[in-house]
Amino acid sequence: MIADKPISAASVRQQRARPVRLCLLSYTPLSQLARTLLPEYAGKAEIHILDETFDTALAAACERENQGLVDAFVSAGGNAATLRGAVKSPVATILIDGFDLLMALIEARKYARRVGVVTYGRTVAELDTVKAILSIDIEQRTYRNYEEAAAAAHDLKMLGLHVVIGPSVVVEAAHRQGMRGILAYSPRGVRRGIESAIELARVARLETARYSLVNGVLASLREAVLAVDDAGQLIAVNPPMQALLKGGGMPLLGRNLADVAPELSLAAAPREESNQGGRVVQFGGRDWVAHRSALHDEYGIAGATLTLYDANTIQEADVNLRTERKGRRAPAAKHYFAELEAASPSLAPVIATAQRFAQSDLTILISGESGTGKEMFAQAIHNASARADRPFVAINCAAFPETLLESELFGYEDGAFTGARRGGRRGLFEAAHTGTLLLDEIGDMPLPLQSRLLRVLQEREVVRLGGVTPIPIDVRFLASTHQPLRAMLDERRFREDLFYRLNILQLALPPLRERDDDIMPLARTFVTRCLSRLNCDLDCRQLLEPMESRLMAYPWRGNVRELENICERLAMFFSQYARVEQVDYSCLALDCPELFFLDVSNQASMAQQIRDALAAANGNREKAARALGISRATLWRRMQEMSPQTFHETFKSDS
């Protein structure tokens, strides 16, 4: 916001030109490792390391931030989580990956065949495989704070272990127990953390420059504008307002508006409605039309602005500028594994596999027919991963023309093409930085874009349209498709090298016709949800009982999405009745004709239809099921539901 002396453009340029200033907080073992890497960043970043006790280091970090001496912080484990809640500057996290742990285990094996591994927050399931390969016995523990780290080291000591692998706090705790501590962090991981912090600092500087631009625009307005915080203290005053308030030669910022100009006091404004316009006030011997607006932040109302003007232009300019500054926000993942219903034995192992995949950072290729819930699984994987609190961005590769898809993914620089937004725009790869990007329907991506995507997957950096500078990104990629990608490889409609980059972890979702046990639970869930929206309290289980045979017999080519759509129609039909006993199911064929394709009202009729279908298919059950519009499993179940004599006669025709 505008200060008594607005920040000059030259000052902004100077800030951009100097190296970024980083502050690294850690315990001694990690600090020592980080110091060996400092020469690599000479001229690129000024890195100050704080390795006192964490409380002391945290206080020093806050002081450096208050003095404007830091652009971004770097820390690891629980320290990073604590630091992120204490400072306003961006915080980059030094992470331990599988390669780091593997190198640490190889080092530990030199000293013992039984090793302790202590990690922050959760254990590493993959170590069960590694210990067999390395012929080493591993005891795992977790910690959330300093005390738990010390307790874990003591516990391992009591078990007779002499070597412990973990973060700095664990290594120090192991040393105090007389054990050998091996740092789990590697130079590679520290470099990634520092480079991530440099990128975060770069982005923060861009935001500062944009705020400076807003200040310049407001300073050029002829209308008088001021802003106060929720305590009524002035936090912004533009030159026309400063001339009106005068202030007796004293700085205005930080003073209470009620003391400077009681007539304009906004003490009550933050608690009022967001906008209050058209109020006439007298100030300085003149009449003004005043407009008040509440200021909001992520926690609620944070203050208010007051504009004295004779037109509505300032409000429109403020809205436009805030819209530009905020930009597009990536959608958040809203689905979790707890929402996935898995009564069917074919889906339960898929969910278990997806939960296991969520713990890694590897690329996952999710395949399945349309409507099987590929994006729902992708969101659940993101929310169960270490990136759950970071962005989740999804883009449907089949929904955009090639030129638009490229600009959406990669972004563009100013003037990259006709109609490009002034100043350029970041793409979805950048929007997903530190989070997860879902490339939905990847099989429909044009071949030229597949080449560019392959480079992003290999290099983890993007170049905007019209730009030349690679921008590093830290993104976990998920891809989904209903296309037969392997067949597309043979037809040269999909790049083989891209396929193998995407097909690291495979997750194949079964169609609903292979999940008979899930049909009725899902139907009851969907119908109950819709009835609730319609304010209908009829019992869903009773309503659906007469329809169960038809719901089970239907082939569900549209999978769960089609089931949900039909359940919406069923609920609309049911909601017109006051009691279950009044429901006239004979009228339902008009609303849901799909469910009446097969006569299941009596066993004899159903048996005859099955016999006819088997005869036409020369006894082939799969062809007969397809002709009837049901799955092979449903056909077998219908045959078993017949009387023994009818079943044997029908089965004989199938032999």
**Please, what's the b/e burial string for 309-326 (b: 16 or more CB within 10 A of its CB; e: otherwise)?**
beeeebbeebeebeeeee
Whether 442 shows a pLDDT value over 50: the answer reads: yes
- Residue 425 pairs in a beta bridge with 412
- Classify residue 417: in a domain, yes or no: yes
Strand blocks (E) in 351-406:
364-367, 392-396
Both tokens of residue 242? Answer: 């400063």
The span from the CA of 585 to the CA of 589, in Å, is: 8
What is the pTM for the complete model shown?
A: 0.45
Is the model's pLDDT at 314 over the cut of 50? no
401 and 539 fall within a common domain: no
Residues 114 and 77 in one domain: no
Residue 471, in any domain of the structure: yes
What is the domain-level CATH number for residue 261? 3.30.450.20
Task: Note whether residue 3 is domain-resident.
Answer: no
The answer to whether residues 78 and 200 belong to one domain is yes
385, part of any domain: yes
Q: Are residues 345 and 396 in the same domain?
A: yes
45-59, 309-323, 452-466, 532-546 — most confident range? 532-546
65: CATH: 3.40.50.2300
Confidence of residue 364 (pLDDT cuts 50, 70, 90): very high
Q: Return the pLDDT at 650.
A: 52
Claim to verify: residue 116 and residue 166 sit in the same structural domain: yes
173-198 pLDDT tens trace: 999 999 999 988 888 888 998 999 89
Distances (CA, A) of 97 to 362, 378, 468: 11, 22, 31
Domain around 570: 512-596
What average pLDDT score do residues 199-222 get? 74
89 shares its domain with 116: no
Place of tokens 């005891």: 139
Shared-domain flag, residues 243 and 287:
yes
Q: Are residues 322 and 357 in the same domain?
A: no
Question: What total of structural domains would you count in the chain?
Answer: 6
Cβ neighbours of residue 110 closer than 8 Å, sequence gap 6 or more:
none
What is the reported pLDDT for 52?
A: 75
User: Are both 478 and 531 inside the same structural domain?
Assistant: no
Torsion on CA atoms 442, 446, 451, 457, rounded to nearest 10: -20
Whether 332 is covered by a domain: the verdict is: no
- Joined together, the tokens standing for residue 639 give 């045959």
Q: Determine the Cα–Cα distance for residues 30 and 7; give it in Å rounded to an integer.
A: 38
* 154 and 77 inside one domain: no
Residue 379's φ and ψ, nearest 5 degrees, are -65, -40
**Could you tell me the CATH number of the domain that includes residue 143?**
3.40.50.10660
The answer to whether position 523 is within a domain reads: yes
Per-residue confidence (pLDDT) for residue 327, from 0 to 100: 47
Mean per-residue pLDDT for 344-359?
Answer: 90
**Largest CA-CA distance found in the chain, in angstroms, rounded:** 105
In a domain, 643, yes or no: yes
Q: What percent of the chain has pLDDT over 70?
A: 82
Q: Residue 555: what pLDDT? A: 84
Note the pLDDT of residue 572: 93
Q: What is the CA radius of gyration of the chain?
A: 32
Of the pLDDT bands very low, low, confident and very high (cuts 50, 70, 90), residue 310 is low
Do residue 373 and residue 408 come from a single domain? yes
CATH code of residue 471: 3.40.50.300
Phi and psi, residue 297, nearest 5°: -125, -170
Residue 649 domain flag: yes
Confidence of residue 3 (pLDDT cuts 50, 70, 90): very low
Token pair of 23 as six digits: 């502050």
Model confidence at 238, in pLDDT bands (50, 70, 90)?
Answer: confident
In whole angstroms, give the CA distance from residue 213 to residue 432: 26
pLDDT tens for residues 455-465?
Answer: 888 888 988 88
pLDDT in tens, 255-307: 888 888 887 776 444 444 445 556 777 777 777 778 788 877 767 777 888 88
Average pLDDT, the chain: 81
Exposure string over 539-568, b if 16+ CB within 10 A, otherwise e: ebeebbeebebbbbbbbbebbbebbbebbb
Task: Pick the range with the lowest mean pLDDT from 128-142, 307-321, 627-641.
Answer: 307-321
